[in-house]
Structure 1
Amino acid sequence: MALDFLAGCAGGVAGVLVGHPFDTVKVRLQVQNVEKPQYRGTLHCFQTIIKQESVLGLYKGMSSPLMGLTFINALVFGVQGNTLRALGQDSPLNQFLAGAAAGTIQCVICCPMELAKTRLQLQGPRTYKGPLDCLVQIYRQEGLRGINRGMVSTLLRETPSFGVYFLTYDVMTRAMGCEPDDRLLVPKLLLAGGTSGITSWLSTYPMDVVKSRLQADGVHGVTRYHGIADCIRQSYQAEGWRVFTRGLGSTLLRAFPVNAATFTAVTVVLSYTRGEEAQLDSEAAPDTSATPAEPALAHPSRL
């Protein structure tokens, strides 16, 4: 359990450092005014932010996910690993169920964290000093309900997507035959992790658009939506079905490197720590005529 959390922390840090600029672009594209769009697309959004705000503009609000995602990843990989062990059999269905359980539980932290991140990414004049100050101000103005704005849409996004996430990674690493002594192990892990990120986002992306809009609603003083159904209805009426793919390009660009870095960091940390444990156990054990077997690759869903 402790190793699951440690590996998850390492994966969280790696993922945030690689992917936050893409997330900033995604949020800006998702919530911009359709009648007076500021950005023409992903590349234009990147260029505009860098030109107007410097490269640091791409990292606005990073302190929130850096603090939150480190713990969230620890929670996700810890819950997923222990749920899979509790289910007993390592089957595709159980991979999905363990991932879905992890996705559901982490929403308690993920939702307020993403609310703060979204508000920080969209602020013009310096309204908030940081994520904690942002949440404090929201709580003073809107109470506990304000802190959990977008919770239901977050649950509808995270629960199935994390099931897809872990299932895809497990299927791919098994299919590619990832083993500790494989020269191509790291490239294979990067490919499996990146692909898992893409498939998980594709599975629930429209709900992410709704979540972002609900969390950004009222930032500039005007409240437009009265819930998930109303947000979907108004968004569709105003912009058609394409609104639910807005920002998808930058999201998928971000998903591959972020999740490649995350899963590789997690698997490498687990492999190293499990290998050290196995070596210590072997040295402490009495001599036998049997040759100890090589430890299996410390796959996050096989521990």
Structure 2
Amino acid sequence: MASPGQTSGPKPTPWPPLTLPFVDLFSGSVAGAAQVIVGQPLDTIKTRAQTAARGQFKGPTDILVQTVRREGVLALYKGMASPLMGIALQNSLLFTAFQLSRRAVSPETSDLTTRQTVLAGAMAGAANSVMASPVELFKIRMQAQYGSATDKKLRQVARDLWAEAGFRRGVMRGFWITVLRETPAYAGFYGGFTKSKELFQRKLYPNEAQLPIWCLMASGSVGGICNWLACYPLDVVKSRVQLTSRKLGPAYILDEFRAVVHEGGYAALVRGLSPTLLRAIPAAAATFTAFELTKDALEGRR
């Protein structure tokens, strides 16, 4: 008989020994690359919606039409080199940080509650900011270039920024707003993804050890949507901070927030949200499909 305060349910699952999961890290890098390639056009529309001067575009559709008409279809892939080059390091950091965070919030068992998963995701997101901040900065500065004749290449953008402001004020510009964005973003992502998987397992596949790929894709899409809903106004502020070169004061996050609201009202804090949410669905599908197929191939299951 269980003593007071205890339950007689299944025993908690202990943690396996902590090792570096090379297969998962490589598969995650391939998946990240697939996410960038599939999602970049809508990400470019999102960034331009966030950073364009008021009245420059009528909406996301107008951004798409004008970009293709004036700069060609390939302009939608501006800034893709930065996330592609950084995706392996970024995914390695995120994956490792999430695994360590899960152990930190639940030292005794690997059976985390949804709340514990959300907390671990938030901790991993904060750690991921170290890589996400410079990757996002270069991507945004490439995406915000209008006109193919005068566009700078990534290495020129990086060289100019380093010469102008150095590492801390240049390459890592906007680091703290990135921390503020990544923390709720990955809390939402891992929370939404995990909860969706649990519902699929309980409702549709209660006797199966593994979910089919379509369930993972759908769960990833839910996680991606939760990710952006949890952080989008902070992403708008971050994009504007990282695009400009003006000197940042100690309260630059609050200053930029006020500037956004002053210029466009509170609606400006969600400008570009629709293409971002649309992007989350195919991007997440590509991410999890690429991850599962790559992992199966490396482990000899395909």
TM-score, normalised to structure 1, is: 0.81
Q: Is 2:46 aligned against 1:26?
A: yes
Post-superposition Cα deviations, 1:253-301, rounded to whole Å, max 9, x if no partner, equal 111211222233334444565676xxxxxxxxxxxxxxxxxxxxxxxxx
Aligned CA-pair RMSD: 2.2
- The residue aligned with 1:89 is 110
The share of aligned pairs that are identical, in percent, is 36
Distance 1:101 1:270, change over 3 A: farther
- The residue aligned with 1:265 is 290
- Size of the aligned set, in residue pairs, is 267
Distance 1:143 1:175, change over 3 A: same
Distance 1:245 1:225, change over 3 A: farther
Deviation at 1:123, TM superposition (A): 2.1
Q: Judge conservation of contact 1:27–1:118 (CA < 8 Å) in 2.
A: yes
- The residue aligned with 1:67 is 85
Deviation at 1:180, TM superposition (A): 6.1
Q: Is 2:19 aligned against 1:2?
A: no
- The residue aligned with 1:116 is 138
- The residue aligned with 2:234 is 207
Q: Which of residues 13, 22, 37 is equivalent to 2:33?
A: 13
Other structure's SS at 2:166 match: helix
Q: Is 2:179 aligned against 1:155?
A: yes
Q: Which moved more, 1:196-205 or 1:121-130?
A: 121-130
Query: Which residue identity is paired with 1:115?
Result: L
Post-superposition Cα deviations, 1:152-193, rounded to whole Å, max 9, x if no partner, equal 1100000121122112111111210164676xx222111111
Q: Provide the rounded CA distance (Å) in 2 between the counterparts of 1:111 and 1:206.
A: 16
Post-superposition Cα deviations, 1:63-115, rounded to whole Å, max 9, x if no partner, equal 11111123312321232234324533332233123222221122111111111
Q: Judge conservation of contact 1:193–1:264 (CA < 8 Å) in 2.
A: no
Q: Provide the rounded CA distance (Å) in 2 between the counterparts of 1:242 and 1:268.
A: 40
- The residue aligned with 1:194 is 221
- The residue aligned with 2:280 is 255
Q: Judge conservation of contact 1:80–1:98 (CA < 8 Å) in 2.
A: yes
Distance 1:10 1:180, change over 3 A: farther
Q: Judge conservation of contact 2:29–2:88 (CA < 8 Å) in 1.
A: yes
- Stretches of structure 1 that go unaligned for 5 or more consecutive residues are 277-303
Q: Judge conservation of contact 2:26–2:88 (CA < 8 Å) in 1.
A: no
Q: Which of residues 190, 193, 197 is equivalent to 1:166?
A: 190
Q: Judge conservation of contact 1:26–1:250 (CA < 8 Å) in 2.
A: yes
Post-superposition Cα deviations, 1:219-261, rounded to whole Å, max 9, x if no partner, equal xxxx497411111112212211001001101111111211222
Q: Judge conservation of contact 1:8–1:73 (CA < 8 Å) in 2.
A: yes
- Stretches of structure 2 that go unaligned for 5 or more consecutive residues are 1-20
Query: Which residue identity is paired with 1:99?
Result: G
Q: Provide the rounded CA distance (Å) in 2 between the counterparts of 1:123 and 1:104.
A: 29
Other structure's SS at 1:176 match: helix
Deviation at 1:206, TM superposition (A): 0.3
TM-score, normalised to structure 2, is: 0.81
Other structure's SS at 1:38 match: coil
